[in-house]
Structure 1
């Protein structure tokens, strides 16, 4: 008789290899055909809602690995919430306006804007953005991200633009919107104003100059032959100098150097002396800054005064304590000059070239003029020193080119008017990580005004009309009318129609007695676009609500979307638009370096999908501490792939051992299960509780490690290993066998549900092979709540102690194997001497100990010769004297006792006779 035929060996068609790159696209097609997202939403209808509001990525270019990290994290959240008692719709969004689209058309597509009307060019921008959106949408879906992809929110749609106009109008109604002349970040490369959120800092090499200003009227303080020294790294702003600022409370010194006298802050004497190589400088006079108020100096090369004024912004951290003040090129300069009635001078145009207000330098680009202006200062004897420094300098985040401060007439949102409200709301939000609260608080605390106008074409127009006297007109009536027009026609009508056609019929204003109106030509900052999404989406969609439960974006969004969203929401509603803020770090290479094409270390998510599969990428996302910067490399992904294989093979083993199990008929009642099986279910509940807690706290790396460890330690190294001797050997319906299968079934279904938010493709594949499942997808099920295992409340300590004793036994077997006493553990007979009463009671109360230790015989005794000491027991390991059973491979002295089956042990002979002999 071939005894192999009598063994109940594992059987499954579930493949060992995932073949993810080929299978995942097919499974995604199946999800789409079967409307799995829609069915998930229908299934959870009526539950409490959980709203994760998607921060809109920019619709330009292919996805990078940072996009993948962001969207996969969001998918973890919404998938988990929909399986744990919530209704969790996910609506993706796109940011579609702004300079990159304009640039793509003019530079990459070679479109000549001058040959097109504004409306025609804007339509081309819209078409381009939608094409990019479609491309990105397919790439996001390929990541396994589940959502309402057919109905995303898009900032260029009519409904969205109409809602944005309403937000602007409400802020204007409350007095938060105004137009004013003020220095703002200006990008000559974009020819537009920028908000702080559009600034990034890079190193720049700049000239560093010390310049002397001759006193012409020292009042009663100075004699008139002194010179104030200023320091600047922007020589190009010297033509715009109108004043020198000193701090009212600082002490200043008149320093004699050779035959000249210079004025600097007394605290800066040593530093300035070193810089200017002064030998034996002599302080001949000191005075408080406030005493120097309105002293007059002369501009170094223009025939005009430069007034000494008082400013609290002056420090002694660098420079001379005397600050070059050009009100057209600096925010502090602007405000301090305004107090003295000094008008703004801004001799640089929108492209960064000098105008005729800077005689001698007309037509020069500001940066190139640095050299000419420095030479001019040297010619007139005002230049004391020229050197060069490399320092952190603001750049346009789109063009990557330096910005300048330039005074222009712009539209502003006055953040300071409701800043305290924002700060109060920040305290009410939950922050992940916690330092996010401090980061946003500090950013808001220091904000004054938000420049919201841009001198571009592709964006939402600022809905302001002007009367004949150039007074801006913003009323409830005009806002509501323009919003309605945009909702019906889109914002292109602003550029296609005349002002009169855009106004309500019969509209009149005291500012235009003749009925003549014009309209604003600037567009809104794109951060105002995306920052209005709480109105356009959270309020605008029936399946959403404000506030959202979660905003999750990269840590750069504290200055971006997190900031603009809370600013507009608090301005309009008094409340934050979100309850929880989660931020993630940036993705670096394996060495911790920023990814760049020049380094050749860019990791393309599409290539990872094709090489390894998206579930490997998703498992990587779950493995990292995403709230800090994270690393990815081929080596890291190789380690993730190994972990994936371990999980997959563990599950495959359980599936294979359930091939003859029908949970409806074969499951053993929990209270009737063997103790060890109930112990494993108890361990499962601990895993379940811990994993659910991590999901609830938006922490995924603990989930990855806990599930991986459970598969490797609890299952593979223990439960799955010893159970083979029962599952393969015993009769099909034997109670212990069905008890183990019942344990396997619950562990398997629970593990698959816990893994579904992270590796949904694999989870759905597993679900198809689990016997007795009714749902078409595991995504349409709930993750179970942890529960008390029946009759186990008194047994946990016992089995935990057994597992500690087992560690001693495994050490003893390993040592015996190294000493060539035994080969495989089934060759062993062990004798165990408990060291304490608890250990004795535990071991004596557990039947079939030899199976749990995977040896052929285990004896518990009071004393034994030749034992080795371990923590809880003393043990002897010896080769078992019996023969090896042909069927179960255990050594037994009963082999040969049965005449019909002389090569079998008594257990196997009994099973064969009862179930396999005709």
Structure 2
């Protein structure tokens, strides 16, 4: 059918440095259907075979055989010698591929294949890129790519999925507190003092690059009043409602209360754990100094004592024994839910940069705020995602869209 309308087919080339498998037979059978169909329809179909000879696996395989690393190229082995060794490695199983092609009856021109390491092929690709550029269809952008320090190059998704690339490891996770800027808080979060967002991360080393916090727009979030389990300082934190029980669980010695006065009592409970009498007295005196007469009256009622406006703190301590005799109950940390809102209501709130070492290269004025993302779940963590666009494709995408 020479001269008929062409149907152009260039085979998506296999790499001949590996043996063919049954999946290659299946893929080739499907491709062959289209070529045969077009031939029967009167098209001129020149089936062009090809060999994929570029790629990191070829280089790493060759280096392993030669007992060298990337640093040896140009030193213990010349670039020309290295290239020749790679060419031999990548074409190692061409005979096996040719035999399979014939046995399965796959129609493709194996006598004149295109080979991706040949200058003619590479220059053709460069020419095509030039045509695309001249039409204004190329632009400069940014993507997040896996990187191999050992190989000194970025990795494609195919290379990352090579055998042995992934393995299960145990790693440290942390929950970080991000302090909000009061002037950016919506009305339902105002009047409670400092407010922090809790964000859980499995990659703590990316925290210096944090530029946003991502919430699920339809997820329910709550403001919780409690105490830091390490410093025992009072805190107000925001997290997903469904994950409150996980973050403030019995294992971490937290217990939910329904009365703000129970929160107020906690420092007094803590003081009962102080063994030194002088330090205990000082802590309790400081605690009572923070109470109003109304709050002291509540304490008296709890102890069935008669309250007088001329109350004496020492008299109170001598007569009132808080019913928290068990060590566990003394140290339980109370938490109280103060407010509730959808994630969409939190979008736009700004917060202080966690580690103020450097600002984002572009648009730093838009950083350090709450943004929205549909990928946020309440399966683990806090329902608030620490977002570092430098380290993750999802992070980069949601930050760009925000």
TM-score class, shorter: 0.5 to 0.7
Deviation at 1:97, TM superposition (A): 0.8
The answer to whether the Cα contact below 8 Å between 2:11 and 2:49 also exists between their aligned partners in 1 is yes
3-state SS of paired residue (1:279): strand
State the distance in 1 between where 2:153 and 2:191 align.
Answer: 44
Deviation at 1:107, TM superposition (A): 0.6
As a proportion of its length, which structure holds more helix? 1
Of the candidates 164, 175, 188, which is equivalent to residue 125 of structure 2?
A: 164
Establish whether residue 173 from structure 1 lines up as the match of residue 173 from structure 2.
no
Establish whether residue 92 from structure 1 lines up as the match of residue 49 from structure 2.
yes
The answer to whether the Cα contact below 8 Å between 1:253 and 1:285 also exists between their aligned partners in 2 is yes
Of the candidates 263, 280, 288, which is equivalent to residue 237 of structure 2?
A: 263
Give ranges in structure 2 of 5+ residues lacking alignment. 257-334, 361-366
TM normalised by structure 1 equals 0.28
Residues 383-404 of structure 1, C-alpha deviations (whole Å, 9 max, x = no match): xxxxxxxxxxxxxxxxxxxxxx
**Aligned position for 2:101:** 140
State the distance in 1 between where 2:384 and 2:33 align.
Answer: 56
**Aligned position for 2:336:** 282
The answer to whether the Cα contact below 8 Å between 2:212 and 2:370 also exists between their aligned partners in 1 is no
Deviation at 1:327, TM superposition (A): 3.4
Of the candidates 285, 290, 293, which is equivalent to residue 349 of structure 2?
A: 293
The answer to whether the Cα contact below 8 Å between 1:247 and 1:310 also exists between their aligned partners in 2 is no
**Aligned position for 1:107:** 64
Aligned residue pair count:
293
The answer to whether the Cα contact below 8 Å between 2:144 and 2:390 also exists between their aligned partners in 1 is yes
Of the candidates 307, 324, 333, which is equivalent to residue 386 of structure 2?
A: 324
State the distance in 2 between where 1:77 and 1:241 align.
Answer: 49
| Paired residues for 1:878-897 under 5 Å | none
Q: 1:224 to 1:332 in 2, by over 3 A?
A: farther
Give ranges in structure 1 of 5+ residues lacking alignment. 1-43, 341-918
**Aligned position for 1:215:** 179
| Paired residues for 1:272-671 under 5 Å | 272-277=244-249, 278-280=254-256, 281-286=335-340, 289-290=345-346, 293-296=349-352, 298-299=354-355, 308-313=368-373, 315-318=376-379, 319-331=381-393, 333-334=395-396
| Paired residues for 1:773-812 under 5 Å | none
**Aligned position for 2:203:** 234
Deviation at 1:271, TM superposition (A): 2.5
Residues 855-892 of structure 1, C-alpha deviations (whole Å, 9 max, x = no match): xxxxxxxxxxxxxxxxxxxxxxxxxxxxxxxxxxxxxx
Q: 1:175 to 1:184 in 2, by over 3 A?
A: farther
State the distance in 2 between where 1:337 and 1:51 align.
Answer: 41
State the distance in 2 between where 1:137 and 1:102 align.
Answer: 23
3-state SS of paired residue (1:93): strand
The answer to whether the Cα contact below 8 Å between 2:211 and 2:368 also exists between their aligned partners in 1 is no
State the distance in 2 between where 1:57 and 1:334 align.
Answer: 32
State the distance in 2 between where 1:222 and 1:51 align.
Answer: 70
Deviation at 1:126, TM superposition (A): 2.7
The answer to whether the Cα contact below 8 Å between 1:217 and 1:297 also exists between their aligned partners in 2 is no
Establish whether residue 254 from structure 1 lines up as the match of residue 215 from structure 2.
no
3-state SS of paired residue (2:63): helix
3-state SS of paired residue (2:238): strand
Deviation at 1:229, TM superposition (A): 1.1
State the distance in 1 between where 2:3 and 2:151 align.
Answer: 49
TM normalised by structure 2 equals 0.58
Deviation at 1:332, TM superposition (A): 5.0
Q: 1:116 to 1:293 in 2, by over 3 A?
A: same
Q: 1:81 to 1:287 in 2, by over 3 A?
A: closer
3-state SS of paired residue (1:97): coil
State the distance in 2 between where 1:140 and 1:158 align.
Answer: 26
Residues 555-605 of structure 1, C-alpha deviations (whole Å, 9 max, x = no match): xxxxxxxxxxxxxxxxxxxxxxxxxxxxxxxxxxxxxxxxxxxxxxxxxxx
Q: 1:68 to 1:109 in 2, by over 3 A?
A: farther
3-state SS of paired residue (1:184): coil
Deviation at 1:189, TM superposition (A): 5.8
The answer to whether the Cα contact below 8 Å between 2:147 and 2:155 also exists between their aligned partners in 1 is yes
State the distance in 2 between where 1:196 and 1:68 align.
Answer: 23
Deviation at 1:155, TM superposition (A): 1.6
The answer to whether the Cα contact below 8 Å between 1:246 and 1:309 also exists between their aligned partners in 2 is no
Q: 1:108 to 1:141 in 2, by over 3 A?
A: farther
**Aligned position for 1:21:** none
**Aligned position for 1:545:** none
The answer to whether the Cα contact below 8 Å between 2:390 and 2:396 also exists between their aligned partners in 1 is yes
The answer to whether the Cα contact below 8 Å between 1:94 and 1:133 also exists between their aligned partners in 2 is no
Deviation at 1:55, TM superposition (A): 1.6
Deviation at 1:99, TM superposition (A): 0.9
State the distance in 1 between where 2:391 and 2:123 align.
Answer: 35
3-state SS of paired residue (1:270): helix
